Homo-oligomer: A and B are copies of this chain.
Amino acid sequence: MAASSATPVAGVLGAGGPRLAERVAAVDALVAVLAGAIDGPAGVRAAGLVASGGKRLRPLLTLLLAGDGPAAADEAGERSLRVAAAATELIHVATLAHDDVLDRAPTRRGVPTIWSTDGAEAAVATGDALLAAAFEAVSRDARPEVSAILATAASSLAAGELMQRADAFRLDITVERYEQRVIGKTAALFEAACRLGAIHGGVDAELAGSIGRDLGIAFQLLDDLLDIEGDPAVTGKARGTDLLDGTVTLPLALAAARDPEFAAVKLRELDEPAAAELCDRLIASGTCDEVRASALGRVEVAQAAIAALPGPEGRRQALALAARALVDRSA
């Protein structure tokens, strides 16, 4: 579901200081080590999937929220923080492997999916192994609350993905329903990532969670827009892939609620050129701009919460830059 465009995290790293850059590199390595430590062919596949790209946004949020808080003071706390951050990425990647089965996706991040090359069994088992590796690592090395926060997010991910499947090809999706779906499949893990950082950084977990949730919703809305408006040369996939897949996102749902012509669209009969044409019509309808405004509104709310965070100015600056980067990826 993630877009393949790069996020400019360099500025974020600069504002976060040398410790952040070091932690980001360490967590990146840890993600690779934990995936690679999985036994047998699942380990090879998991390591390949992890290495194939991804912006490590979730671990970044964890590290940003942690700042230079209490965790840095002792080795066990530092280890707990890094493992927690790495686990958010492992869980994210696990869901990608499973999503590819559900979506019958031929490629992801420009490379063939496990599902397409090795079959559904390999993809399901690789995702299971990644999930287990994440929970194994946190139950061994992280604070007890970390498992609970991640398990709650994993539940939400499964629920959100199922809601999306249940809604496939339906044009009569309400805004509320869509938001619930997005919270489940994307924002819950962003929220968890921020909560994990907060408990290590001595920040109010509810406040941090709300930042993650708002950023996660914005991220998904902008990702949906990329599917409609994005330049295939940049995004790496044809426009309207969601539509061809039966995934009705907010721009079409809003248009269908207002205009009988959109409500009468037969998604199952779309081919690639028709999907691209439908994208053009959606852009012309104005609903894409509406959804963008909603996403930017979420980012504003998150920015206000970021500004209200206690502690060092560096943390607030780096987080604000990260939130800004989420917006820029849609530009």
- Give A contacts to B, CB under 8 Å: 38-42, 95, 98, 101-102, 119-122, 124-129, 131-133, 135-136, 138-140, 144-145, 147-148, 150-152, 154-155, 157-159, 161-163, 165-166
State whether A154 and B128 are in contact (beta carbons under 8 Å apart), knowing that A102-B120, A135-B147 are contacts in the complex: yes
Cβ B128 vs Cβ A165 within 8 A? no
- For A129, list chain B residues within 8 Å (CB): 155, 158-159, 162
Q: Is the CB of A155 within 8 A of B38?
A: yes
Looking at the complex, which one of B40, B119, B148 makes contact with A163 (CB distance below 8 Å)?
A: B40
Q: Which of A41, A101, A162 has the most CB of B within 10 A?
A: A162
- The answer on a CB contact under 8 Å between A132 and B120 is no
- Flag if B159 contacts A131 (CB, 8 Å): no
Which residue of chain B lies nearest to A102 when distances are taken between CB atoms in the complex?
B121
- Residues of B near A163 (CB, < 8 A) are 40
A101's partner among B95, B124, B140 (CB-CB below 8 A) is B124
* The one of B41, B119, B127, B128 that contacts A157, using a Cβ cutoff of 8 Å: B128
How often does this chain occur in the complex, in copies? 2
* Given known A-B contacts A120-B120, A144-B144, A125 and B40 have beta carbons under 8 A apart: no
Q: Which residue in chain B gives the minimum CB-CB distance to A135?
A: B151
Bound form: Cα–Cα A120–B120 in Å? 9
By the criterion CB–CB under 8 Å, are A121 and B39 in contact?
A: no
What residues of B have a CB within 8 angstroms of the CB of A38 in the complex?
155, 158-159
Interface centre among A98, A139, A158 (most CB of B within 10 A): A158
Closest 8 CB pairs of A and B: A139-B147, A136-B151, A132-B154, A129-B158, A139-B148, A102-B121, A128-B158, A135-B151
Cβ–Cβ contact B159 & A42, under 8 A: yes
Q: Are B131 and A154 in contact (CB under 8 A)?
A: yes
A44 to chain B, nearest CB (A): 10
Q: A131-B154, A139-B139 are in contact. List 6 more A-B contacts (CB 8 A).
A: A38-B159, A40-B163, A42-B158, A98-B128, A122-B165, A135-B151
